[in-house]
Structure 1
Amino acid sequence: MPLRLTVYHGRTLSTLIDRSGGLRFKSCTSRHLGATFQTTETHPKKYKTIDDLSGPSLATTVYWLFVKGYSVKSHAMQIEHKNIYGPVWRSRFGPFDVVNVASADLIAQVIRQEGRYPIRTELPHWKEYRDMRGQAYGLHVDEGPEWYRMRRALNPKLLKLPEVSRYAPVIHQVVGDLLQRIEKLRLRSGDHATVSDLASELYKFGFEGISSILFETRLGCLQDEIPEDTLKFIAAVGDMLTLSEIVLFLPLWTRKVLPFWKRFVQAWDDLVGVAQRLIDRKVAEIDVQMQAGKPVEGMYLTHLLSSDKLSLREVYISITELLLGGVDTTSNTLSWTLYHLARDPASQDRLYQDVTSVCPGRQQPSSEDLTRMPYLKAVFKETLRMYPVVPGNGRLTLENEVVVDNYLFPKKTQFHLCHYAVSHSESEFPDPECFRPERWLREEVEAYQHHPYSFIPFGVGVRACVGKRVAELEMHSALSRLMQHYEVQPVDGAPTIEPKTRTLLIPSKPINLRFIPRASGGREGTVEVTAPEGLRPQKAYGPRRPTAPEGLRPQKAYGPRRPTAPEGLRPQKAYGPRRPNHFNRQ
């Protein structure tokens, strides 16, 4: 009986192939990692099957999820079950029969055998919704050659570094708006420092950033008056991700008696509706340009619409999915990063030195500058190790059988790749619960070699995250500028924030942080700081308040003052007759 074997060696070797009783050798190099081949042996090796795997029963799974409370912390259940059942175990819940893999080496084995058109996991409820609404399937639902065709159409403008660098100017504008938003919020707080529920503000930043790239226009998500569609989209993201897991596991008959399916459909209607309105607006602009005989110029959406590689239906759903992924990845990762930096002053100070050594003072970092900040990259790697955006990923094998850890699995086996358990493994990352960016710096004593598949926050291969480079540009730009302007501190008495699972990994409670402005030298002081263009410089005499970020005029530091006036009213000075207010001069 022919057996499928898989090679995982980097050295050149030869595969032994039995063809009609004869033997011949085929050269294989490291480029053929994961290549499958067949051989016939006199005593064929006997593999174990899925029925030989241990794992929790259905009753045990229900107990863990709903009695022990792991329904909102399934990422932690990965670690618990790995400790009980080992690196590979079987779990069943409703119609799903899943093989869980919680070892870097075994995850590599699965991915290297996934075939040309890998499938993450089946999403029958997403597919049902799109059939019901007559929509295209998109990258998350489609499969095979159709999926690959769409993926190739979306890739070039999002994954090629020269193309992504073109988005830097608009991202810098969005980051500038974020700084102004942080400044307004902290000045409105009781202590003139605290920004409450930071993640909600970073959601708006994420939406403004990705939409400015996709739609080539600014939506104003970081202004005081938030566009209604922005609020609707952000709310729908949370609803859809929460309801997606519930709807997936509930029997079909419950849809008539429980509200979850109806709310799930409404959330998707809101997501697609917002994206479609923005796309239609861009289509109308292009039509006007074409009718006027003007050349059609633009970035991402213009490219998609003019390339004819995707239908308009496919553009609608693809842009919706890109918006969906761009908002969560950026906001959650930045939230966790700032949370840990606030609690680790030494790491924050080192990051500040890393940024200012490349861009002294408040010089705006360019895309090239960001590549020369190794500690900045290390901070984000450590954050994504501790809080992978997707704590577990799926792989559904359709093209061939798969051998993993001496088990032979048939086609259509659903694998669950437990990234959270692997990235929190002591054998891969010593002291895994400690925030330690230094572990990613090669020149550091603490640096070490970990398995390449123990840390794959954006995936690998053709299924890697299509928006990875844009997300990195947004996060690196935002954090570097925030470090230039602020020292971040925890709020007194703030609790420890644990993650929870909502399809993605998010903070279980609002993150509240204090933003203390830095002087140009990095510390509070009385030295004069050059004011941003268009704003009058602040005088240096006497004790002074912390310097305000670029784009906002700082408040004077002398004399008692009245409370800050509500927005839209001119603040009164605390002494003498009033003069016209220039606070909002741009």
Structure 2
Amino acid sequence: LPSLHPRSSRLTSERVAARGGEGPREPVSRGSSFPGADRHISRHLRSLEEMPGPSAIGFAWDLLARRGLSRLHEMQLEGHKRYGPIWKAKFGPILTVHVADPTLIEQVLRQEGQYPMRSDLSSWKDYRRLRGHGYGLLTAEGEEWQEVRSLLGKYTLPPKAVESYDGILNTVVTDLLACLKRRHRLSAHGLITDIANEFYRFGLEGISSVLFESRIGCLESQIPKETERFIESINTMFVMTLLTMAMPAWMNRMFPKSWDTFCQCWDYMFQFAKGHIDQRLKKESEKLAQGEEAKGQYLTYYLSHQGLSMKDIYSNVTELLLAGVDTISSTLSWTLYELSRHPEIQTALRNEVLMVLEGKQIPGSSDVARMPLMKAVVKEVLRLYPVIPANARVIPDRDIQVGGYIIPQKTLITLCHYATSRDASFFSNPNEFQPQRWLSKEHRHHPFASLPFGVGKRSCIGRRIAQLELYLALARILLQFEVRPDPDGAVVPPMTRTLLVPQSLINLQFIEL
């Protein structure tokens, strides 16, 4: 929780997943034509003491009693409305600076240095030290993080490298469609309840296929017990992450139940990943022993041939396994939810898919690359429902200037992405689902207003793979089904559970075409 603890963080940009929008590639010029680009240039630098914000008691009451942790994303909007684009908040001894303007977010990110530092995932690191595990891409910092990111980036960021995954991802999509059809046949009037759960298993199967080039049975009619337990461990671990980070270490020792549960979840997740890694590498060794050529197009294979220790391989693969699951599940659920409520956009997107495929039933990466409305729909969903509602940064070695204030080194800075992506100054009708806003050349958006993948060196390393998985799934679902809202359903708002997720079940009616 960036707003609670200087050594904590939301699972920022390393979470492998599709969230629409590439983020800025070039610096924004300071005389910029983006709305409000020069609003916060100040000739007088002020101190942190002069920054507005709630009292410590008021903030704690608002956070824990009135609003609750599940409403953290809404507190961004309230903070911006009350105090302006930058404010401070204190929880106990912890002081956090909140930044809720894209121009100011840009200022922070332009000053983050060679090794951008999120605040620590403190409880994650405490667990690894306790068990003697290495740090993976989500938990490492500095040169250690840079080394792993450079290795993985070769196989996850270049478009040509990503194209190689469309075959195995399409096999996973085929199994997803079979699951949807099976549930459709068993349902009343085609109503599939809790669609996010179906997509959660799809996301886990997809990232497993990329990591292991093998399947773990998430989409089978009978899910293997070990896979079911892994899914439960991920869900419980994220809930326990909020609790263990919000509590100081001495409270975890005094009330150990949350910490023990947290560790048990991680124990099983490491065990699960290690079993699949060992199994795949054993098969490669057997091929080599028999004189066969051992090749692979999966990330574990690449990591194992780059000189990383097995300890580091286990840690990185375990973290990557859980990184993209919620992203795929949440984004795909929200996308179909919005398309069901906007049938005219759903029809237009289906027509685009049909036109590009020209009779084909299974798209490839080159096909979805020619679907601008598809990309706009996903971008708009991720503007409204960013999987990571807030990001965090700590500049460890120097003071920086943001919005006319001096921010001392080591200050925790929360980047309020949910607030900026719903700011009427940058997006007209900000609470409305309008994918066309991303297709209009007349309306330019500040490139730091919606950052679902993060930006720069800390941007999501798996964004292109996640986008591809989403596009392939959406295209094929729309070829098979018309999706309608639950006839008895109500509006589903988002809630914060470390990530931004649906507050209630998303139930959708699927009509076979």
User: RCO (CA 8 Å, sep 6+): is it higher in 1 or 2?
Assistant: 2
User: Are 1:361 and 1:484, in contact at CA under 8 Å, matched by a contact in 2?
Assistant: no
In structure 2, what is the Cα distance between the partners aligned to 1:150 and 1:187?
A: 45
Shift of 1:280: 1.2
In structure 2, what is the Cα distance between the partners aligned to 1:200 and 1:47?
A: 49
Aligned to 2:512: 517
Equivalent residues in 2 for 1:130-141 (5 A)?
A: 130-141=128-139
In structure 2, what is the Cα distance between the partners aligned to 1:331 and 1:418?
A: 22
In structure 1, what is the Cα distance between the partners aligned to 2:502 and 2:359?
A: 32
> In structure 2, what residue type is equivalent to 1:337?
T
In structure 1, what is the Cα distance between the partners aligned to 2:76 and 2:295?
A: 48
3-state SS in 1 of match to 2:448: helix
3-state SS in 1 of match to 2:496: strand
Equivalent residues in 2 for 1:174-573 (5 A)?
A: 174-191=172-189, 193-255=190-252, 256-299=254-297, 300-308=299-307, 310-361=308-359, 363-442=361-440, 448-518=443-513
The alpha-carbon distance between structure 1 residues 315 and 431, as it changes in their structure 2 partners (threshold 3 A), is: same
Q: Does 1:66 align with 2:64?
A: yes
Please list the CA deviations of residues 480-512 of structure 1 after superposition, one character each: whole Å capped at 9, or x if unmatched. Answer: 000111100011120111111011101111111
The alpha-carbon distance between structure 1 residues 95 and 159, as it changes in their structure 2 partners (threshold 3 A), is: farther
Residue range with higher mean Cα deviation, 197-206 or 318-327:
318-327
Bigger radius of gyration, 1 or 2?
1
Aligned pair count?
475
User: Are 2:43 and 2:404, in contact at CA under 8 Å, matched by a contact in 1?
Assistant: no
Shift of 1:418: 0.1
The alpha-carbon distance between structure 1 residues 489 and 385, as it changes in their structure 2 partners (threshold 3 A), is: same
TM-score (norm 2): 0.90
User: Are 2:100 and 2:416, in contact at CA under 8 Å, matched by a contact in 1?
Assistant: yes
User: Are 1:208 and 1:219, in contact at CA under 8 Å, matched by a contact in 2?
Assistant: yes
3-state SS in 2 of match to 1:68: helix
3-state SS in 2 of match to 1:307: coil
3-state SS in 1 of match to 2:136: coil
Shift of 1:177: 0.7
Shift of 1:220: 2.1
> In structure 1, what residue type is equivalent to 2:475?
S
In structure 1, what is the Cα distance between the partners aligned to 2:424 and 2:281?
A: 52
Shift of 1:65: 2.0
Shift of 1:96: 2.4
In structure 1, what is the Cα distance between the partners aligned to 2:94 and 2:417?
A: 20
Q: Flag the structure with higher helix content.
A: 2
3-state SS in 1 of match to 2:324: helix
Please list the CA deviations of residues 299-344 of structure 1 after superposition, one character each: whole Å capped at 9, or x if unmatched. Answer: 1211111221x21111111111111111111111000000010111
Equivalent residues in 2 for 1:165-180 (5 A)?
A: 165-180=163-178
In structure 2, what is the Cα distance between the partners aligned to 1:133 and 1:11?
A: 48
1:49 to 47, 51, 62: 47
Shift of 1:230: 2.1
User: Are 1:70 and 1:77, in contact at CA under 8 Å, matched by a contact in 2?
Assistant: no
Please list the CA deviations of residues 501-528 of structure 1 after superposition, one character each: whole Å capped at 9, or x if unmatched. Answer: 011101111111111011xxxxxxxxxx
> In structure 2, what residue type is equivalent to 1:302?
Y
In structure 1, what is the Cα distance between the partners aligned to 2:392 and 2:167?
A: 36
In structure 2, what is the Cα distance between the partners aligned to 1:160 and 1:232?
A: 34
Aligned to 1:33: none
Q: Does 1:10 align with 2:40?
A: no
Shift of 1:45: 6.5
User: Are 1:233 and 1:270, in contact at CA under 8 Å, matched by a contact in 2?
Assistant: yes
Q: Tell me how large the CA RMSD over aligned residues is.
A: 1.6
Shift of 1:361: 4.4
Shift of 1:420: 0.1
In structure 2, what is the Cα distance between the partners aligned to 1:217 and 1:317?
A: 19
In structure 1, what is the Cα distance between the partners aligned to 2:230 and 2:60?
A: 32
In structure 1, what is the Cα distance between the partners aligned to 2:88 and 2:185?
A: 53
* Structure 2 alignment gaps of length 5 or more: 1-26, 32-41
How many percent identity over aligned positions? 40
* Structure 1 alignment gaps of length 5 or more: 1-7, 13-43, 519-586
User: Are 2:217 and 2:227, in contact at CA under 8 Å, matched by a contact in 1?
Assistant: no
User: Are 1:208 and 1:220, in contact at CA under 8 Å, matched by a contact in 2?
Assistant: yes
> In structure 2, what residue type is equivalent to 1:287?
S
Shift of 1:233: 2.0
Shift of 1:428: 0.7
Shift of 1:64: 1.3
> In structure 1, what residue type is equivalent to 2:497?
R
In structure 1, what is the Cα distance between the partners aligned to 2:225 and 2:92?
A: 38
3-state SS in 2 of match to 1:73: helix
Residue range with higher mean Cα deviation, 494-503 or 237-246:
237-246
Equivalent residues in 2 for 1:49-128 (5 A)?
A: 49-128=47-126
Shift of 1:461: 0.7
Aligned to 1:561: none
Please list the CA deviations of residues 39-83 of structure 1 after superposition, one character each: whole Å capped at 9, or x if unmatched. Answer: xxxxx9752111111212222122112222331020011001110
User: Are 1:115 and 1:399, in contact at CA under 8 Å, matched by a contact in 2?
Assistant: no
Residue range with higher mean Cα deviation, 376-385 or 259-268:
259-268
In structure 2, what is the Cα distance between the partners aligned to 1:464 and 1:45?
A: 32
In structure 1, what is the Cα distance between the partners aligned to 2:43 and 2:378?
A: 44
> In structure 2, what residue type is equivalent to 1:10?
S
